[in-house]
Amino acid sequence: MSTRLYLGDEALAQGAIDAGLSGAYAYPGTPSTEITEHVQRHVAETSQRIHCRWSANEKTALEEAIGMSLAGRRAMASMKHVGLNVAADPFMNAALIGTRGGLLINVADDPSMHSSQNEQDSRLYADMALIPCIEPADQQQAYEAPGVAFELSEQFELPVMIRLTTRLAHSRADVKVGAEEPSPQNPFSLPDDRQRFILLPERARRRYQWLLSQQPALETASEESPFSHLVLEGDPSLGIISCGLASNYVREALGDAVGHPWLQIGQYPLPARLIHTLFSTCQRIIVLEEGYPFVESRLRGLPLRSTPKLLGRLSGHLPRTGELAPEEVTNVLRSPDAPPSPRQASPSSIVRSRPPVLCQGCPHIDSYRALNQAMAPHRERGRVFADIGCYTLGAMPPLESIDTCLCMGASITMAKGAADAGAFPAVAVIGDSTFAHSGLTGLLDCTAEHTPITALLLDNDTVAMTGGQDSQATGRFVGLCESLGVDREHIVRITPRADLHEENVVKIARELAYEGPSVVLAQRACIQTLRRSKATEKSSASPDRRRSEGGQP
């Protein structure tokens, strides 16, 4: 037993390694990136055999993990919340197909949208798929969760979600780590029943009935979970339900002896019996949860004999949006009837917001300056559709180069739709790794119809926004675009540098005028990644890193 200082992400990764993990599959995305990076570091240091290379996107990552589970081994797929949208198809169906080796789906939500387009709550996905979800309260539980989740997964032959939120994923704490040696990995074994993993309708219907029949047992598992606790002592005029890390804020506000009946929920489906017990003893219940008012809205719909008054995000006792703040929990627990105080205002009227910006010397700046000039004559009918990555910051003054940012890969496809409607030029700005993640199929749509769009492919040789990870398409862009059907003459390279500005404007302008699909490949390495790789080379023999671009922010 030793104590380490781990991020929630790292604690989860170490917990999975210690529980006999064989494969970590992922696409980088804040706040989930450090889960896989920790596994990669561990493998580099110990030479243990665990698959841990980045996948092209979250869907491929999850499908790869499902394949490993089919072959008997323990696997996990890790992603940010919006990454689960990309992986939603295998996610929903994995519940029906079931698992063999334990399968974890680690999803890090980002309430308050520190680095995301939305603050969707992945617990609703687990609920929709009818699979268990574990929500650790702190880094220690994040370390313990994978072991419990793998057991649960193998017991029920179902994938298990582990849900983190930003505040736990990106906060370090001392974690007691168990074994010196990780548990042995499951042996490779293929299923004897060859029908087992085929979701033809006839079989899918049977599997769905089976999945529904498991729900009462899953509820019991939640009730008996090491991550759920019910304490009935104290003043019953107010009961408390806290989920995940909200439990920490309760303890922070009231101390270890909270003085009220208190249910901590760390595993779903909801532990119904524990909730009924709490409900039958309390007049009012406050629900504290990070993310959507998921539990609160469920409880409002419960057919209950006694119905205490519920306080939470829906009742207006806590803000409807954003991550929970400890002071909000303290205030509502101390005086539930007082209106919620407004969120912390600026301390002084002269403090200005300081949003993130592109780094000085960033190649995207030179790409955008050239694009702006080439687009200047086309403001009437032309638009620039951008994507997910550092280059989304091209929306800010003084560049103001882009008109959209929706989701991974949507630049090319939105440009196509707008071009279909008459926009010209329709420009798609997309990073190298985002292109590999979700841009290829959209470009195929464009070449199939010879749609006049110009994709400005920003190849900075890395997944920059999430800290410089590798991606799958590095060094292969010309061949990829050509094989997708783009005319070789309309795949043009530029080097985004100030001294080549005029030349770059001319090249971009020429492709904007072309009435078919074209690609301008802007290639210059991210200055941050370049600096890091130089530092690594200096200090040690660096591993052979193939680099690429993009990343869920």
Partner 1 sequence: MRCDIVLAGVGGQGLLSIAMIIGRTALGQGLHVKQSEVHGMAQRGGAVHSHLRLSDRAIASDLIQPGSADLLLAMEMMEALRHLPMLANHGTVLSNTATIRNIPDYPEEEALRHALLTHAEVTWVDAECLAREAGSPRAANIVLLGALSRLLPLEKDAFKEAIQTMFSRKGGKVVHQNLDAFARGRAVAT
Nearer to partner 1, 335 or 353 (CB): 353
Measured from the CB atom, the residue of 199 and 325 that comes closer to partner 1 is 325
SS3 352: coil
* Nearest Cα residue to 476 out of 444, 445, 507, 433: 433
- As measured in angstroms, the least distance from the Cβ of 50 to partner 1 is 23
Minimum distance from residue 91 beta carbon to partner 1 (Å):
23
Query: Which amino acid belongs to residue 145?
Result: A
Minimum Å distance from CB 550 to partner 1?
13
**Least spacing, CB of residue 247 vs partner 1, in Å:** 8
Handedness of CA 327, 140, 290, 296 (dihedral sign): negative
Angle at 331 between CA 325 and CA 332, to 5 degrees: 95
**Is there a contact between 548 and 471 (Cβ–Cβ < 8 Å)?**
yes
In angstroms, rounded to a whole number, what is the distance separating the alpha carbons of residues 51 and 24?
6
Q: Look at residues 472, 546, 543 and name the one whose alpha carbon lies nearest to residue 43.
A: 543
Provide φ and ψ at 459, rounded to 5°: -100, 100
Residues making contact with partner 1 (CB under 8 A): 3-5, 7, 30-31, 33-34, 114-115, 138, 167-168, 170-174, 245, 248-249, 251-252, 325-327, 330, 344, 346-348, 350-359, 390, 393, 397, 465-467, 535, 538-540, 553
| Alpha carbons 294 and 131: distance in angstroms, whole number | 15
CA–CA dist 512, 518 (Å, integer): 8
Q: Least separation, in Å, of the C-beta of 30 and partner 1?
A: 3
Closer residue to partner 1, CB minimum distance, 8 or 98: 8
Cα–Cα distance, 125 to 335 (Å, whole number)? 33
- The rounded Cα 240 to chain-centroid distance in angstroms is 29
Q: How is residue 449 written in tokens?
A: 């119809």
Q: How far is the CB of 230 from partner 1 (least distance, A)?
A: 19
Q: What is the DSSP letter of 552?
A: B
Q: Which is nearer to partner 1, 29 or 72 (CB)?
A: 29
Would you say 30 or 186 has its CB closer to partner 1? 30
Cβ closest to partner 1, residue 136 vs residue 452: 136
Is residue 447 within 8 Å of 485, Cβ to Cβ? yes
Nearer to partner 1, 115 or 472 (CB): 115
C-alpha angle 196-129-388 in degrees, rounded to nearest 5: 110
User: Considering beta carbons, is residue 156 or 262 the nearer one to partner 1?
Assistant: 262
